A and B are shown apart, each in its own frame.
Chain A
Amino acid sequence: MANFDFRTCSISGLKIDKASENLVRWNLIAAFATLAVGGLFALLVALTRWPSVHLLPLEFYYRFLTLHGIDALLAWIIFFEIALVHFTSAVLLGTRSYVPWLGWLAFALMLIGGGVINVIVLLGKADVMFTSYVPLKADPIYYLGVILFAVGALLGFIIFFINVILSKRDGGYKRSLPLGVFGLGAASIIAVLTLLHGAGIFVPTLLWSMNLIPNVDPSAYRLVFWGLGHSSQQINVCAMVSVWYMTSAFVVGGKPVNEKLSRTAFVLYILFINIASEHHLLVDPVLSTWHKIVNTSYMMHLAVLASMIHAFAIPASMEVALREQGYTRGLFEWVKKAPWSNPAFSGIAISILLFGFLGGITGVIFGTEQFNIIRHNTWAITGHFHGTVVAGTTIAFMGFTYLLIPYIFKRELIWKGFATIQPYLYGVGVAILSIGMMSAGAFGIPRRHYDVTFSGAPFSFTFDPAVDMFMSMMGVGAVLAVLGGVLYILIAFGSVIFGKEVQ
């Protein structure tokens, strides 16, 4: 090991090898870039759904909505997660990246796959939305792009296992993995299952799009697709919760109150969270009611239990750490004295609150068979998952970026004042957006729909006038969130390029 190029980070004390550092850096840069693109499409799509603006023409709306899903939901988050794979499995363990060539291969495949998808959708040959439900048919190149991206991501997550196994041999850890690494381990296990589902459905769909097989059964497609589509969100949940634990440890010195309980909660995710994917099929006529209820009203709650454990374990770890620092007056002095001006801390605090109250609670409600029937395919669902993947995962990752820039890029943050307000601005924007969507959805506004006034349609239908207020609320929230997002991108890229070097 002595032959490898290690340095010790002067801020965190982490031992970082050059190969891991470069892999984390480039995956993060790709993540920032894809978030910038996905965010631009988000703004255009939101300004189209805002009735008083209604910006884009029809075909561009669906095209950009497809790309918003691909770039913001898949590419940004998975590039960031692969950066976390390298960070946890090599840097946190103090060992080297054992297969950097595989890391670069994975990165290249993801980059090529993502690029191919963006180009083919922009050319108008794959207006099939993120779900690409058959019998909607895209150009074969689109499915090829998805497969390339997914194979790259799969290789990226496999690197986690290789690094962790070889790290143990080299004394990176003794008995069990540190909790942050353990959480990424859970994410990587779910990722392998998820990406195998992806291969299971996108390979036959590719063959079908090339007319090599006659058809793909739509109900089988939906079932297997959601083994990819929703389970990939569970990778995000695991990675996000790991980021919560790691940020608590790095910023306030938080240690889990009961580490075994926190580890058990991650195991609950592995065992039960994939089953929760079934909630996408709750109005599907093919599956039996018994099947749906067992999966979503029983099994799913074991995964929700895991989130409840983390939701209290992480604030408790912060409370214990802050009390040890002397903030013991009353019940809540530690809350008052917490480092709210540190964007890494405020990022995860906002992420925990919004993920729990906006994303989590609504997810449990909408994922229940009896409730789902009145919310399915309404905008309320879009509001729910903007509460999870945006208000939860994205804000947590944004917060963690403010730690990774000095640790990994060896740069100080530029615009520290703007960095302090960025998580608040973004969080408030996404919360308003999400509540606006959920409220409009409660009045029956459909998700994805280009024109809810149905202008030019052979029939007429009007929603309750209250929806105008909620849809405008979404628009205002989207503009605020985009401002927060632009600030994040400028600070991230600006710090990487112009930030003062950390010695």
Chain B
Amino acid sequence: MSNHKDDMHAPGVFALSLVFLAVFIVIWFAHLKWLMDIWAVR
């Protein structure tokens, strides 16, 4: 039976992609708040 952990060729880049995803989510909600402030969207 294959060890799935060994199947990942580039775990570092995979980890970085998760960091980018988290940062993206933070920026996304921050910019929504910014938009609400600027345009007074309710």
Contact = CB atoms under 8 A, between A and B. Distances in A.
User: Do A and B come together as binding partners?
Assistant: yes
Interface of A: 257, 312, 315-316, 319-320, 323, 331-332, 334-335
12 contacts: A257-B9, A257-B10, A312-B13, A312-B17, A316-B13, A319-B10, A319-B12, A319-B13, A323-B10, A331-B11, A332-B12, A335-B12
B16 to A, nearest CB: 7
Contact of B15 (A257, A320, A323, A331): A331
Contacts of B12: 319, 331-332, 334-335
B38 to A, nearest CB: 8
A315 B16 contact: yes
Nearest to B12: A331
A35 B13 CA distance: 34
Contacts, number: 24
B4 to A, nearest CB: 16
B11 A320 contact: no
Closest 9 CB pairs of A and B: A316-B10, A319-B10, A316-B13, A331-B12, A315-B13, A320-B9, A319-B12, A331-B15, A332-B12
A319 B16 CA distance: 12
- The SS class assigned to the B binding surface is helix
Interface string B1-42: 000000001111101110000000000000000000000000
Contacts of B11: 331
A316 B17 CA distance: 11
Contacts of A320: 9-10
B9 A316 contact: yes
Contacts of B16: 315
Nearest to B39: A374
B26 to A, nearest CB: 13
A315 B17 CA distance: 11
Nearest to A374: B38
A319 B9 CA distance: 8
A332 B15 CA distance: 9
A257 B9 CA distance: 8
A332 B11 CA distance: 9
Given A312-B17, A319-B12, 11 more contacts: A257-B10, A312-B13, A315-B16, A316-B10, A316-B13, A319-B13, A320-B9, A320-B10, A323-B9, A323-B10, A334-B12
Q: By CB atoms of chain A within 10 A, which of B11, B13, B15 has the most?
A: B13
A331 B10 CA distance: 9
Contacts of B17: 312
B3 to A, nearest CB: 15
A447 B12 CA distance: 40
